[in-house]
Amino acid sequence: MAIYFLGGGNMARAIISGLRAQSADDEIFVANRSEDKNLILKTEFQVKTDFRLPENLSPDDVLILAVKPQDMKNALANVQHNGALIISLAAGLEVATLANWLGSQRIIRVMPNTPSAIGLGVSGLFAADGVSVSDCAIAEKIMAACGVTIWLNDEKMMNAITAVSGSGSAYVFYLMNALQEAAEGLGFADETARTLALNTFRGAVALAGQSGEDFFTLQQQVTSKGGTTFAALAKFEECEVADGLIEGVNAAAARSAELAQILRD
């Protein structure tokens, strides 16, 4: 089995990094127009690169679509997949749309996120009707090299997982940036403020992962009535920080559905 990437951007690179960390023996090819990216991928991951896919793909191969959704239709115009298993990373592009463009139902949609680059990603997967158990196992193995995998039974849930984990890293960085700015406002130097914010998040996530307690309980364990944490949380409630975050995630899900409709048309 060979793995072919159509597109060599950040997410393709993240998955290739995970695959190479898992095994140095996988045959990996990248079809990408950027010579600079090709050189980086060749040097760092020992993959073969070109600006187009070969015509000798077979049903035993995997074709990973890593092109931007709005560019996908043109990118697929001359693709000869020859029955290869198709894994699409394109947000919003539904199975039916891809099947129409490709003339194949052997499609699995994946929504990864950027921590996949260091093996700590979350990927949502949805298999089209008729995709075999063995095909699902192949997709599982590829994405598990990059982190946690969540299989979805309803394609509509791709919009939800896009909003929660696909975009979720940006929400965390947003909060980290706010905590850093708060630290700077209290008099810490930039680098010290960054260290405080980064390691506070790192420690909290590690503790949550090890403890098994729900997040609200962990929050309560740090909060004494009338204390400093209580004062901060009371202000967050006054500013409706949690409500704003939830509304933002819902807005992301709605936008994902809108983009799917645009791409469908």
What does each C-alpha distance from 41 to 8, 25, 38, 48 come to in angstroms?
8, 16, 5, 8
Output the known binding site.
6-11, 66-69
Q: What confidence tens digit (pLDDT) does each residue in 242-265 have?
A: 999 999 999 999 999 998 888 886
Reduced to 3 states (helix: H, G, I; strand: E, B; else coil), residue 217 is helix
Q: What confidence tens digit (pLDDT) does each residue in 136-174 have?
A: 999 999 999 999 999 999 999 999 999 999 999 999 999
Question: What are the tokens at 128?
Answer: 């089209």
| pTM listed for this prediction | 0.90
CATH architecture of 168-257: Orthogonal Bundle (1.10)
Q: Which fold has domain 2-153?
A: Rossmann fold (3.40.50)
Within this chain, domains 2-153 and 168-257 share the same CATH topology? no
> Which of 125, 189, 203, 112 is closest to 157 using CA atoms?
125
> Which of 39, 85, 93 is closest to 64 using CA atoms?
85
Q: Where are the domains of the chain?
A: 2-153, 168-257
Q: How far apart are CA 10 and CA 238, in angstroms?
A: 39
Tell me 128's DSSP state: P
Output the known binding site for NADP(+).
6-11, 66-69
